[in-house]
Amino acid sequence: MNHDDFGVPEPESLTSMGAGEPAADPIAESSVRLALPDEANAIGVIQVAAWRRAYAELLPAQVLADLDAAQFAAQWRAALIAPGEARNRVMVALAGRTLVGFAAITASDDPDADPRHDALVAELAIDPESTRAGHGSRLLNAVVDTIRADGFRRVTVWINSTDDVLRSFYTDSGWAADGAHRELDLYGDGTVRVKQIRLHTDPATDE
């Protein structure tokens, strides 16, 4: 996925970033909203966990171990403070007060896209310890609602071609492959290539 508009590298999500909330906490059990700059550290941690999970079979273990959550956090903080275009958005999923996932939205810069009408989910990540609790679906639904409100007519996402779990997550939500594919040269020297496919949906028909 291309993160140039956010100043962040690229592909789902670590341990909870805060203590568990008591059962009587008046805050909603789960919610989705726009991210705040002071949540960049939590986003960076989830970003690293996402890379380690998505690329576990593709990159050397040492490369994954060396990923720096603080570096990612700094980039996310800068993006949240100065997002550029108004339609560049970062959204977070919360369980109580704990950040358990995030998504980044921007206008698509794919060669065949019209950035006036085509949006891109540049990242969508859920804390692995918080999966299967509906956070991913709530986050994706909120993302599509936001994209619709921003006037986009189409939304796409790039996923690794071998990631059947992530593909099922999207297709179960009504997304479908649109026939586009690409190959990422992760080191720039041809030694590690990752094939990706593009999925899409029409935000106007999302249920």
Q: What is the pLDDT of residue 206?
A: 55
Alpha carbon 205 to its chain's center: 21
Residue 85: C-alpha distances to residues 44, 107, 150 (Å): 22, 9, 12
Adjacent-strand bridge partners of 198: 158
d(CA 182, CA 32): 31
DSSP letter, residue 85: S
Q: What is the pLDDT of residue 1?
A: 36
Series of mean pLDDT values for 10-residue runs along the chain (207 residues): 41 29 48 96 92 83 91 96 93 94 97 97 89 88 96 96 93 96 88 92 80
List, in sequence order, every beta strand (DSSP E) within the chain. Answer: 30-34, 89-95, 98-107, 118-126, 154-160, 176-185, 193-201
Q: What is the pLDDT of residue 128?
A: 79
Give the pairing of strands 154-160 and 118-126.
parallel
Domains with residue ranges and CATH for the chain: 4-15+29-205 (3.40.630.30)
For residue 163 the two structure tokens come to 């990631």
pTM more than 0.85: no
| Token pair 């989910």: residue | 121
Could you tell me which residues come within 8 angstroms of residue 147 by beta carbon, excluding any fewer than 6 positions away?
105, 119, 155, 203
Closest CA to 142 of 86, 94, 70, 80: 94
